[in-house]
Amino acid sequence: MLANGYIPISNQQLVISLSLVLITGLVSMFLKLGLVKSLIWGTIRAFVQLMLIGYLLTFIFQLNHPAVIIAIILLMSFIASREATRRITRTPFDPALLSFITLTASTFLVGIIVVAVIISPEPWYEARIMIPIFGMILGNSMNAVALALDRMYSEVYAHVEEVEQMLCFGATPWEASRTYIRRAVEAGMTPTINSLMVVGLVSLPGMMTGQILAGMDPQEAVRYQFVVMIMIAAAVAITCLLIVGLTYKKMFNDEMALVESMINK
């Protein structure tokens, strides 16, 4: 039965959904993948985290204070920056701070344009709109940071001799590494570009699906989804350019040579 335009999910139906986890666990056991414990722990964590964030968002939406909203977004940016750089190894420095600056800058730049100019709620800082929009930007930009940084460092590590040779011939750090920087930006943007290519043909994005399930007219859901896709593409592009622009020089010292940690493999 519809309630406020959407079909509510009861506690009983929520429990039934766990049967899907059971199926996944049985497949893991049959193939001896050793993923059952991780699957169970991940399911428990997801349930607890989502329930907690549901109560928290209800409180934040009711409060709807700009200072609280900004604080939440900054916290989200911090968590995203740590997660984006956590698995990147053999870096000449800890990129977490620059990752935080990059993610925060790109998220606020694109997010404010989308919320205040395109969607234009009343008030413009409406928490119910700002937090989900900024969260989508951060989630995709976080992946872009991880992919771009990992690709840039791996490319330079794989071509140390070529980079050093160009530096010996008088090339600047940018000239010696720009080919690998371009590949890094391309790696960070590729998943988003691929999504733009197949959206509506291969997949219906989560936001659009959620709006349709909530009772929104499909044509309106499509409009919102298009804005979201373009928003994400712009944010990812800015994020990739900023992160490689801020970090590539860290691979070189004051004498414009590769730092020791980049040479010693």
Cα radius of gyration rounded to whole Å, the chain: 22
Last residue of a domain, one of 63, 84, 112: 63
Asked whether the predicted pLDDT for residue 246 surpasses 70, the reply is yes
Place of tokens 């499909």: 218
List, in sequence order, the alpha helices (H) in the chain: 11-16, 18-30, 36-63, 66-86, 96-112, 127-158, 160-168, 173-198, 206-213, 218-247, 260-263
Last residue of a domain, one of 11, 28, 63: 63
Q: Which residues have a Cβ under 8 Å from the Cβ of 25 and sit 6 or more positions away?
A: 35, 36, 39, 40
Asked whether the predicted pLDDT for residue 6 surpasses 90, the reply is no
- How far is residue 185's CA from residue 169's CA, in Å, rounded to a whole number? 26
Q: Which two tokens stand for residue 120?
A: 């234009």
pTM of the model: 0.81
For the chain, the average pLDDT equals 85
Whether residue 73 is found in the same domain as residue 92: yes
- pLDDT tens column, 40-99: 888 888 889 888 988 988 999 899 899 999 999 999 999 999 988 887 777 778 888 999
Residue 105: the pLDDT is 95
Calculate the alpha carbon distances from 88 to 54, 82, 94, 102, 105 in Å: 31, 10, 9, 16, 21
Q: CA 59, 61, 64, 66 torsion: positive or negative?
A: positive
Whether residue 126 is found in the same domain as residue 256: yes
In single-letter form, the type of residue at position 9 comes to: I
Last residue of a domain, one of 63, 90, 116: 63
Whether residue 175 is found in the same domain as residue 248: yes
Instruction: Tell me which of 150 and 92 has the higher pLDDT.
Output: 150
Whether residue 118 is found in the same domain as residue 224: yes
- How far is residue 75's CA from residue 175's CA, in Å, rounded to a whole number? 36
- How far is residue 197's CA from residue 101's CA, in Å, rounded to a whole number? 30
Whether residue 213 is found in the same domain as residue 188: yes
Query: In terms of residue numbers, what domain contains 169?
Result: 66-263
Whether residue 153 is found in the same domain as residue 29: no
| Number of domains comprising the chain | 2
Place of tokens 């040779």: 165
Q: By C-alpha distance, which of 230, 228, 208 is closest to 218?
A: 208
